[in-house]
Amino acid sequence: MKKIRMGMVGGGRGAFIGGVHRMAAALDGKIELVCGAFSSDPQKSKLSAEDLGIHPDRSYGSYEEMIEAENRLPANERMELVSIVTPNHLHYGPAKMALENGFHVICDKPLSFDMEQARSLQKIVEQSGLIFALTHNYTGYPMVKQARVMIKNGSFGKIRKVVVEYPQGWLSTLLEAGDQKQAAWRTDPEKSGIAGAMGDIGTHAENLAEYITGLKIDSLCADISTLVEGRRLDDDGNVLLRFDNGARGILYASQISAGEENNLNIRVYGEKGGLEWRQMEPNTLLVKWLDQPSQVYRTGGANVCPEAAAHTRIPAGHPEGYLEAFANIYRNVAHCITARNEGSTPDPLYTDFPGVEDGVRGMQFIYKVIESGKAAEKWIKF
């Protein structure tokens, strides 16, 4: 096995999500970080590369420089995959250039700064024929895949109701007034785009609901608020949903739910039963039945489907977490690139990761909830 060579844009000292991407990429030993443009500050970029054991020759001052320089390297040395871990307004540029230069891309979510970029990127990906993955990482959990498969198989009959929540509490105060870097850019419309909480975590909730249920949101009605005085973007949103099969839903995403950590959870109900999954205890999937005792499905446990088993590394009872789920996206991308490099067909169990169409849908969600938040009429078509 040859490791896939990866370059990174963003993720220098002081960043949060860049480190997550690196651990996720490293975990399975199938990807090697060979170069990076870790910061727009060249000095910081260099120091970050040093921290990471990157050869100085391959520590770049900008993504443009990186792509150009790597392009000049022999094919068997040059990076093959670019990981983009910058704030939202800096996704489009490197993604576009990477794809246009023949590099596969893994990009953090949401897809882009605005809708126009999202649509443009979708075209570029389609024309390139390259692999593009978006890290809606929660879909990487085995029990999320179990949930999706059970619903798809009709275990619960027609789905009638979906409740998805993503409450956090970390922005309960005006943290961005201080020097908290994460709070600063995520609440800044110049960097985040038109939405705060709804873009940062609301899109995760939307993506998870559609991924698990296989349904599409048809229309929505949103109450979008900024509850911390002085904040420039929304920090709380409650949304009524109607899905394309007639199911009803609620989506709640918030960064002012004081005392909540990262309490993403989803409940789905069909005619015969339902399920419940909570991200903070991700190895348990509670399955409820109309006329039988509830069942506790577990990562690595009895009766799990092949799709869940394929995304599990260790036996049941050895908890796998956020990084492992995140790594499932990287592992699958590496698997698909390797198959492509070898001219083979990838194992269908390892081709499941969110792509550019998920990203476009996420941007659409952002636009629609913000629109609905301001509307006097009740329902907005998705």
Within positions 202 to 261, which residues make up the interface with its own copies, using CB under 8 A?
221, 223, 225, 227, 236, 238, 240, 242, 248-250, 252, 254, 256-261
Task: State the number of CA atoms in the 13 A half-sphere of 19 facing the CB.
Answer: 7
- Minimum distance of its own copies from residue 187's CB (angstroms): 16
* CA–CA separation, 210 and 212 (whole Å): 6
Give, in order, the Cα–Cα distances in Å from 21 to each of 85, 96, 173, 294, 326.
Answer: 8, 20, 28, 36, 8
Give the one residue of 180, 262, 351, 364 binding its own copies; rule: CB under 8 A.
262
Give the one residue of 71, 127, 292, 341 binding its own copies; rule: CB under 8 A.
292
Compare residues 64 and 258 and give the one whose CB is closer to its own copies.
Answer: 258
* CA–CA separation, 187 and 198 (whole Å): 11
How many chain residues touch its own copies (CB under 8 A)? Answer: 94
Residue span binding its own copies (CB under 8 A) among the ranges 69-77, 97-105, 273-281, 336-344? 273-281
Contact (Cβ atoms closer than 8 angstroms) between residue 115 and residue 370:
no
CA angle 137, 217, 381 (to 5 degrees): 135
Within 79-118, which residues bind its own copies (CB under 8 A)? none
- Minimum distance of its own copies from residue 262's CB (angstroms): 3
- Minimum distance of its own copies from residue 119's CB (angstroms): 29
- Minimum distance of its own copies from residue 162's CB (angstroms): 10
Question: Sign of torsion, CA 372 376 379 382?
Answer: negative
* CA–CA separation, 225 and 165 (whole Å): 16
Preceding omega of 110 cis (within 30 degrees of 0): yes
- Minimum distance of its own copies from residue 281's CB (angstroms): 6
Could you say whether residue 303 binds its own copies (CB under 8 A)? Answer: yes
**Residues with Cβ < 8 Å from 131, sequence gap 6 or more?**
81, 104, 105, 333, 336, 337, 340
Compare residues 30 and 335 and give the one whose CB is closer to its own copies.
Answer: 30
Could you say whether residue 319 binds its own copies (CB under 8 A)? Answer: yes
- Minimum distance of its own copies from residue 99's CB (angstroms): 26
Could you say whether residue 78 binds its own copies (CB under 8 A)? Answer: no
Within 13-72, which residues bind its own copies (CB under 8 A)? 16, 19-20, 22-23, 26-30, 33, 50-53
- Minimum distance of its own copies from residue 114's CB (angstroms): 26
Could you say whether residue 359 binds its own copies (CB under 8 A)? Answer: no
Contact (Cβ atoms closer than 8 angstroms) between residue 147 and residue 211:
no
Give the one residue of 13, 161, 191, 340 binding its own copies; rule: CB under 8 A.
161
Compare residues 21 and 96 and give the one whose CB is closer to its own copies.
Answer: 21
Contact (Cβ atoms closer than 8 angstroms) between residue 175 and residue 233:
no
Give the one residue of 155, 180, 263, 351 binding its own copies; rule: CB under 8 A.
263
Contact (Cβ atoms closer than 8 angstroms) between residue 354 and residue 210:
no
Within 116-155, which residues bind its own copies (CB under 8 A)? none
Backbone angles phi, psi at 100, to 5 degrees: -70, -15
Residue span binding its own copies (CB under 8 A) among the ranges 55-63, 123-131, 292-300, 344-352? 292-300
Compare residues 114 and 260 and give the one whose CB is closer to its own copies.
Answer: 260
Compare residues 27 and 349 and give the one whose CB is closer to its own copies.
Answer: 27
Q: What stretch of H or E contains 145?
A: helix 142-152
- Minimum distance of its own copies from residue 42's CB (angstroms): 19
DSSP assignments along 157-192, one per residue: -SEEEEEEEEE--TTSS-GGGTT-HHHHHHT-HHHH
- Minimum distance of its own copies from residue 120's CB (angstroms): 32
Backbone angles phi, psi at 245, to 5 degrees: -100, 5
Compare residues 224 and 356 and give the one whose CB is closer to its own copies.
Answer: 224
* CA–CA separation, 294 and 285 (whole Å): 10
Chain centroid, CA 347 distance in Å: 22
